Amino acid sequence: MVSNASSTELLIICGPDLARERVLWLQYLSAERRMAEKTSEAYERDLRQFFHYLTTYLAHPPELADVKDLRPIDMRGFLSSRRREGAGARTLGRSLAGIRSFIRFLEKKGLASSAGLAATRSPKQPKTLPKPIAPEQAIKLTDASQHLHEEPWINARDTAILTLLYGCGLRIGEALALTPHSLSDRSARSLSVTGKGNKTRLVPLLPVIHKAVDEYIKLCPYHLEKDKPLFRGARGGPLQAAILQKSMRLLRSALNMPDNATPHALRHSFATHLLSNGGDLRTIQELLGHASLSTTQIYTQVDTDHLMRTYNAAHPRANR
């Protein structure tokens, strides 16, 4: 994924040798790393901001030689300047990750060293817990009778997607990438999903998921080619995540649900509800496609908080 910035703009923020490597890096992220488009765009933006900082710091647009041996002090100066502009810890952490990715790309070609970046600590990230919704709320959201569109096929479409998110723990992008072929076996009890980092995992397919998808396929007015996106927008093109998110906002408002009732919250709910009912953490990690168990362990804190709220609300001596 290459920036829309013109070559003239690139020469303003960096020299031609660095601009050339930047384009090759972006192509590498897309073609070889298969990085999500939004992440690639964010990395590109972060690198541009770093080049702008270096232009001011060096008093000239940076060239390849200027980034060959970056020091921790160079990175601390950049992060400090971004913090003064209002960037938070998450943004700064991602900025550092993007710059590291570019320098490591150069390092593989013998054009730079990443030692200085390796010695730079990422900003401490604030601890935020996932916000699942209650089981009864999740079930309502996956009930076709609750949906509000005038077109029955769109109601069936949204129901099928939300059922996949809650029933399989999918990310929105994973659900929207499914094809009719991937769900063609009505007797299948598992589904192969390609997630972040192009990693494939198996998730369970409940009968209710088959039923919801079948209802959508039956009502959909468009021809669904077996290797094209299964879920379509109102005009027949691939459904965009923003459309589903908008539908969810309308639905949660009609059902008087909190703002954290989002499509992604159904994935959090999948994990939290499994854990609450005795699910094994390692299994949940595999189902979610998390690379690290520590990422999945955050749901144990969510479950503990839920238990304590229930205890405080119900136990006669909890508030005495």
Q: Would you call 216 a catalytic residue per the annotation? A: no
CA 189, CA 95: separation in Å to the nearest integer?
41
Where along the chain do its domains lie? 7-118, 137-266
305 pLDDT band, cuts 50/70/90, is: low
Confidence band, pLDDT 50/70/90 cuts, at residue 127: low
222 is catalytic: no
pLDDT at 120 over 60: yes
- Cα 134 to Cα 276, 305, 307, 310, distances in angstroms: 11, 13, 13, 12
CA proximity to 142, closest of 238, 234, 261, 232: 261
Using a 10 angstrom Cβ sphere, with 0-12 exposed, 13-18 middle and 19 or more buried, the burial of residue 143 is middle
| Residue 159 pLDDT > 80 | yes
Active site (annotated) includes residue 201: no
Whether 237 shows a pLDDT value over 90: the answer reads yes
Averaged pLDDT for residues 120-125: 73
The pLDDT assigned to 12 comes to 52
Q: Is the pLDDT of residue 306 over 60?
A: no
What is the sign of the dihedral through the CA atoms of 81, 84, 85 and 86? positive
For the ranges 127-131, 159-163, 209-213, 283-287, which has the lowest average pLDDT? 127-131
pLDDT of amino acid 304: 57
> Does 121 participate in catalysis according to the annotation?
no
Catalytic residue among 53, 166, 216, 299: 299
CA distances from 320 to 32, 158, 310, 312, 317 (A): 60, 46, 16, 10, 5
Given the residues 147, 232, 267, 273, the one annotated as active site: 267
Catalytically annotated residue among 290, 306, 311, 317? 290
- Choose the catalytic residue: 45, 211, 264, 306: 264
Tokens of 205: 């397919």
Q: Known catalytic residue: 171?
A: yes
Q: Is it the case that residue 267 has pLDDT exceeding 50?
A: yes
Whole-angstrom Cα distance, residue 171 to residue 264?
7
Q: Report the pLDDT value the prediction gives residue 128, as an integer from 0 to 100.
A: 65
Distance CA 213, CA 88 (A): 41
- Please state which CATH class domain 137-266 belongs to: mainly alpha
User: What torsion do the CA atoms of 255, 170, 241, 219 make, to the nearest 10 degrees?
Assistant: -70
Residue 241: predicted pLDDT: 92
Lowest mean pLDDT among 81-90, 115-124, 127-136, 291-300: 291-300
Predicted pLDDT of residue 232: 96
Q: Which amino acid appears at position 96 of this protein?
A: L
Residue % of the chain over a pLDDT of 90: 43
Write the pLDDT tens digit of every residue in 78-109.
Answer: 989 888 888 888 888 888 889 999 999 999 99
Mean pLDDT of the chain: 84
Instruction: Give the pLDDT confidence score for residue 283 in this predicted structure.
Output: 82
Q: 194 and 34 in contact (C-beta within 8 Å)?
A: no
Looking at residue 134, its pLDDT comes to 87
| Among 161, 183, 169, residue whose Cα is nearest residue 243 | 161
CATH number attached to the domain at 7-118: 1.10.150
- The reply to whether the predicted model has a pTM over 0.85 is no
Percent of the chain having pLDDT more than 70? 86
Least confident residue range of 148-162, 167-181, 218-232, 298-312: 298-312
Q: What is the pLDDT of residue 64?
A: 92
Q: What is the pLDDT of residue 313?
A: 58
Options 140, 196, 211, 306, the catalytic residue: 196
Check: CB of residue 13 under 8 Å from CB of residue 51.
yes
pLDDT at 301: 66
Q: Are strands 190-194 and 200-204 parallel, antiparallel or unpaired?
A: antiparallel
CA–CA separation, 243 and 263 (whole Å): 11
Q: Please compute the mean of the pLDDT values over residues 40-66 and round it to a whole number.
A: 91
- Asked if 267 is an active-site residue, the reply is yes
User: Which among 171, 201, 210, 268 is annotated as catalytic?
Assistant: 171
